[in-house]
Structure formats: structure tokens, C-alpha cells
A and B are shown apart, each in its own frame.
Chain A
């Protein structure tokens, strides 16, 4: 087994040993949908207002955005900042393996956790509320991957510029909650005020959420939303690579 696969395997094991982080990445999206669907009866009743669809099912793309935000802003960001502060990256720099391999392993583990958590949520929604999933699968996948890449870039950028792990976690929280707001976690779909909607168009998670909501109902996302997520990915990743300090 190569050093890289060992590193990824080791990071995956460590990820699963952190019960809180593992829960939020893997189980939280599914649990949230089940709880919401059961706590508010109207959510799980087929409604003529939503074309006979259960309202909870229309909330699923927003939960996907929430899952992206949670994994990138808490799990990934927390680990990156800590690995530098504790000298894990520097320690690795003295071996034949580059510290960037550890960051690569972390990206792979978090991407795997995000995909697993999202898939689990979709399966549970199908079982519990008869959700038939997105009507435009390819569009949803594109929007989901672009949204995930954009938020990963934001996490890498914060990890690159934050002076220490505390600051990094603080900035992460300051970004996380507004991102959830613009993704429509509290005001899904048309419920978001117009002014906020305009801002949301230009935030990475807001754009991703709207792109996924469009894909969910069978449309192709607005080019603006895809362009915004792609631009965030490009800019944040470029800056992070330039600014990242290994020690």
C-alpha cells in the first residue's frame, strides 16, 4: 500500500473516531429531514400548493447546501487549522511525504463524508416521505459538485489566512451562519426577501443552493449561479495555494 492511500485511510479512521464531527457530516442531513418532516405535520402532507408534492421534499436541495456548508466550514476547516498549529504538517515536511498529501487526504475524506451524508439523506427522504429525488440528476450533480468545490475553496482560503486555529474556527462560524441563511435554510425558495435574494445570488452557498433547487424541479440552473460557484472555486483555491503557510 502506498503512503498516500495509507494516509487517506488513516485520516478516514481518525475522522470516524471524532463522534461529533462524524455525526454532523454523515447523519445530520438525514436526521434533520426526518425530524422536520415529523415535527411539522404540514411538511409531510402532499400539498396542492406544491403540485401535490410534500413540502419537505422541496426542502431537500436546501439541506444538501446545508450539508456542504457544515462539512466545509466545520469539519474540514477545523482539521486544516489544527494540523498546522499543532505542527502535524511541519512534522510531515521532514519525511519523504509532502504535507500537501495530508491536505489531499483530508479533502478526499471530507468529500467522501459529504457524499455519504447526502446520499443517506436522499435515501431516508425517499423511504420516509416518498421523495422521488431531483428531476434533473445531471444538473443536480453539477450544482452540488460546484457548490462543494466553492465552499472547499473558501475553507482552504480561511485556513490559509487565519493566524491560528482559534481565529480560523471563529471566521468559519462567521461565514457558516450567513451562508446557511443565503442558502435558504430558514427561508427556502421564494420565501427569502428580494434584497437578500440578490445578495444570495453572489454567495457561494446561496448560488449553489439555488442551482440545486432549480435542478430539483427539473430545470437547468441559471448560468449566473454556476458561474458564481465556479468563480469562487477558482479564486479561493488560487489564493489559498499562494498564501498557505505550512508552519
Chain B
């Protein structure tokens, strides 16, 4: 609990070391071995009709970890995190978040989890500041909305209606809303889709800052560079199953050289997935 962001703590002045630190492909994972388990997914299966979209997925996420779910479109990423968020009911398997059941204790968990959904919009005429204040009022112990708005770089847009924001600004507002309740776990789906390169790097920086505050981050992505640079560990999802789960560096090391070049995460990803396709 000591790690949580309390109201009035300087979001705007966060951790110079995070921004200054150049990221190499190989990273240490400081919290992995010591952190308690925050998310535990066991045999999660979800069907829509007779189509099994998530098939026996199991993994755990430790406190303070940035855990990525990587996969192609339709691999079951969104369904997995929607089950973890309590938005969907699994057909079988168990999901425990912060020691509580993701489905039966979802009322309680909503106060402790911040979720950013893919393709979820706000009312056109709702202004940035109004949205932040409104969502802050939903939580028992919200963060300072002004500091959060500054942290995602939307200070200039506080009075701007949602419809007038650019794609990147909408995305950053969505991240800020996911963090307004001072969550212990942030679940972010397709975090940087639609952002330009600069905004993507700004967003990564923000995610690291959140993690350094003790928030556990579960993120869904189909971008290799994002997975490699940002995530401590990755679950690679293919056809609803986890085909690999390791640090990005270990996943890459597992492939060795490809055509005489050192493999990157994309090579590793391609080697791991698509086994049921004819190529």
C-alpha cells in the first residue's frame, strides 16, 4: 500500500532517471523475483458460440511488473484482459486479482483496477477536465486529476471537448482515466495504437513512471518494439493459447540467428506463432 500514488504527489515531477535511461534490448527485471503475485490466471477458457477464443490460458503477474500479452489480431488478447477486468465471464478457469476473484469480487476490484479499453470513446462534448473530475468522483481515493492531466501532457486541452482531441490525445486521456482511481493494477489494451512515434515513446515513459510508483501493468499489444522495450515479461498468444512466456531477451535468445542475422523479437514471434498456418 505504501507504493500507491496518493493525492497530491507530484505526477509532473516524476523520476528523472526513467526518462534519462537509454533502453537496451536486454533488461533486468528487478521486481520479478521479489514481488507478490497480483494476477493469477489459471486455465482460462472463453468461447463465443462454438468458437474457442481463449483456450486454457495460465500465467501470473508479479507486483510492479509490466507484463505484456503479445499476439496477432484475433489471438484472444482482448478477451483475456476483458475476463481479467471482470467485463466477461470465463467459461472455465479461475482468475485471481489482488487475491480476489475477478468475476465474483468484481464490484470490489473495480476500485483497485484501472482499465483502458480498446475503441472505447467518451461523449463528444465532454471536456478533458470534466471527464477527469467526473471519473475521479467514482473512486474512494482518486489521484489529483490536474497532476495526471499534466503527466499525460494534456494541460493545454483541459477545456477541449473530446471530439476535438487528436487520436493521440484521446489515447492519452484514456490512459489518464484508467489511472484516475489510483489503481494498484492498470490494464491497458492496445495502448499506443494510432499514436505517432514521438507520442508512443512518451506513452512508454509514462507507463514506466506508473510502474515505478508500484502499479502493476498488464498490457496488450501487437507491436514488437513496444513489447520488447516496455515489458518485463511477455506471454505470446496464438490461436487462444500461450505459446511462449518469458522475458523479451530470453524469447529472442531462444531463436538464435535467422538468415545469418541476430534475431529480434519479431523473428522470435514469427517462429513461435502461426504453427497452424501453411507457411
Query: Residues of A with Cβ closer than 8 Å to B?
Result: 1-3, 6-7, 10, 13-14, 17-18, 83, 86-88, 90-91, 93-97, 247
Contacts and interface: CB of A to CB of B under 8 A. Distances in A.
B31 interface: no
Nearest to A85: B121
Contact of B125 (A7, A14, A86): A14
B122 A88 contact: yes
A95 B120 CA distance: 13
B123 interface: yes
B115 interface: yes
A97 B110 CA distance: 9
B122 A91 contact: yes
A88 B117 CA distance: 10
3 nearest A-B pairs in the assembled complex, by CB-CB distance: A87-B120, A94-B115, A86-B121
13 contacts: A6-B133, A6-B134, A83-B123, A87-B117, A87-B119, A88-B122, A90-B117, A94-B87, A94-B110, A94-B114, A96-B110, A96-B138, A96-B139
B212 interface: no
B137 interface: yes
A18 B125 contact: yes
Interface string B99-139: 00000000100110111010111110110001001110111
B90 interface: no
Nearest to B187: A94
B85 interface: yes
A87 B119 CA distance: 7
Contacts of B110: 94-96
B138 A95 contact: yes
A229 B81 CA distance: 44
B137 A91 contact: no
Instruction: Assign chain B's interface to a size class.
Output: 20 to 34
The CB with the most chain A CB atoms within 10 A, among B119, B135, B138, is that of: B138
B214 interface: no
Contacts, number: 60
A10 B126 contact: yes
B76 interface: no
Given A7-B134, A18-B125, A96-B110, 18 more contacts: A6-B134, A14-B123, A14-B125, A86-B120, A86-B122, A87-B119, A88-B121, A88-B123, A94-B85, A94-B86, A94-B115, A94-B117, A95-B139, A95-B181, A96-B107, A96-B138, A96-B139, A97-B138
Given A14-B126, A88-B120, A90-B87, A1 B139 contact: no
Q: Which of A1, A18, A87, A96 has the most CB of B within 10 A?
A: A96
Nearest to A17: B125
Contacts of B140: 96
B25 to A, nearest CB: 33
Contacts of A7: 134
Contacts of A87: 117, 119-121
B160 to A, nearest CB: 13
Contacts of B119: 87
A1 B87 contact: no
Contacts of B130: 10, 13
A1 to B, nearest CB: 7
B85 A10 contact: no
Nearest to A87: B120
Given A10-B134, A14-B125, A94 B113 contact: yes
Contacts of A6: 133-134, 137
Nearest to B88: A247
B220 to A, nearest CB: 14
B133 to A, nearest CB: 8
Nearest to B177: A91
A6 B134 CA distance: 7
Contacts of B134: 6-7, 10
B137 A3 contact: yes
Contacts of A2: 137
A87 B120 CA distance: 4
A70 B42 CA distance: 51
A18 to B, nearest CB: 7
Nearest to A83: B123
Contacts of A3: 137-138
A221 B165 CA distance: 52
A10 B139 CA distance: 17
Q: Which of B110, B111, B113, B120 has the most CB atoms of chain A within a 10 A radius of its CB?
A: B120
Contacts of B85: 94
Contacts of B114: 94
B254 to A, nearest CB: 35
Contacts of B111: 96
Contacts of B113: 94
A119 to B, nearest CB: 25
A39 B121 CA distance: 45
